[in-house]
């Protein structure tokens, strides 16, 4: 694994990894490269490089911790797990029932350009409409925005102040602290008050 990572990192650093080469890498090496990319830096783009922390050897520490987590992920995947590669609406149509729980972490509103597959305002509307019709429970994560705040009126939510992990501290950063943001979790059910209390979270409506 170390060898593949080394080669992959060299290619990305040299800015020479092209889409064609990524295909030629094959599934396993591509997966290893992707794992390396998302776990050792931020703002990763397989064809354009990535940023990494200049603080406290963060890059190596994050990668090491991610590799340790692989064991837990492997154990979990040996159980009754199905991985779907479908549009959210198809997933919900297929799996929704009174016993289903959906955790939805869609592309963030107004960040359509971050993703290869466009997820526009119409898709956000489609998601909110579909969520309102589910038989199962769901949690939806995102940030306050005019559409969600209007369409999700009356649904309970909590706010969590987080530092944005997608912003690393680079040698070129003007600030040495990450920006903070209020992330929101909306629920279509009443979350357990004991759990909210344990984490000091206040339920709002
Ligand atoms: C904010 S990210 C979620 C990241 C994820 N929670 C994780 O930890 O890796 C949004 C995800 O939505 C996916 N996505 C984009 N369009 C989608 C669609 N129509 N249906 C389902 N998922 C979609 C993107 O590929 C991206 O992985």
Each residue's pLDDT tens digit, 177-190: 667 899 999 999 99
Spatial contact of 108 and 142, defined as CB atoms under 8 Å apart? yes
Provide the 8-state DSSP code for 144: -
pLDDT of 147-170, one tens digit each? Answer: 999 999 999 999 999 876 555 555
Distance in Å, CA 107 to ligand 1 centroid: 6
Rounded distance from Cα 129 to ligand 1 centre (Å): 18
Residues with CB under 6 A from ligand 1: 87-88, 105-107, 115, 117, 119, 123
CA 44, 49, 53, 58 dihedral sign is positive
Ligand 1 centroid to Cα of residue 113, in Å, is: 13
CB 98 within 8 A of CB 82: no
DSSP 172: T
Burial of 105 (0-12, 13-18, 19+ CB in 10 A): exposed
> What span, in angstroms and rounded, lies between the C-alpha atoms of 159 and 95?
28
Handedness of CA 81, 88, 113, 117 (dihedral sign): positive
Decide if pLDDT at 118 tops 90. Answer: no
Pair 196, 158: CB distance under 8 Å: yes
Q: Ligand 1, residues 45, 95, 117, 131: which to mutate, most atoms within 8 A of Cβ?
A: 117
Q: Whose CA is nearest to atom 6 of ligand 1?
A: 105
Domain 88-198 class in CATH: alpha beta
Tokens 């198809």 identify what position?
A: 90
Q: Using the atom order of ligand 1, give the atom closest to the CA of residue 89.
A: 20
Task: Report domain extents, the chain.
Answer: 2-77, 88-198
Put simply, whether the predicted model's pTM sits higher than 0.85 gets the answer no
pLDDT in tens, 74-98: 999 998 899 999 999 999 999 999 9
Ligand 1 pocket mutation, candidates 106, 123, 145, 148, criterion most atoms within 8 A of CB: 106
CA angle 18, 65, 139 (to 5 degrees): 85
pLDDT at 3: 43
């Amino acid at each position: 694994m170390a060898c593949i990572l080394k080669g992959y990192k060299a290619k990305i650093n040299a800015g020479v990894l092209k889409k064609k080469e990524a295909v030629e890498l094959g599934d396993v090496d591509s997966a290893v490269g992707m794992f390396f990319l998302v776990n050792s830096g931020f703002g990763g783009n397989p064809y354009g490089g990535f940023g990494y922390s200049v603080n406290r050897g963060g890059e190596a520490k994050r990668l090491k911790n991610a590799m340790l987590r692989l064991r837990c992920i492997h154990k979990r995947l040996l159980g009754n797990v199905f991985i779907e590669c479908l549009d959210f609406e198809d997933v919900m149509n297929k799996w929704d029932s009174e016993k289903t729980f959906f955790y939805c972490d869609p592309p963030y509103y107004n960040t359509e350009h971050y993703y290869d597959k466009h997820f526009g305002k119409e898709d956000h509307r489609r998601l909110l409409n579909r969520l309102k019709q589910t038989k199962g429970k769901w949690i939806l994560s995102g940030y306050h925005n005019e559409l969600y705040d209007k369409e999700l009126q009356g649904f309970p939510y909590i706010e969590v102040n987080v530092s944005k992990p997608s912003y690393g501290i680079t040698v070129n950063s003007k600030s040495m602290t990450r920006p903070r943001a209020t992330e929101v979790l909306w629920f279509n059910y009443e979350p357990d008050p004991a759990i909210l209390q344990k984490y000091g979270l206040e339920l709002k409506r």
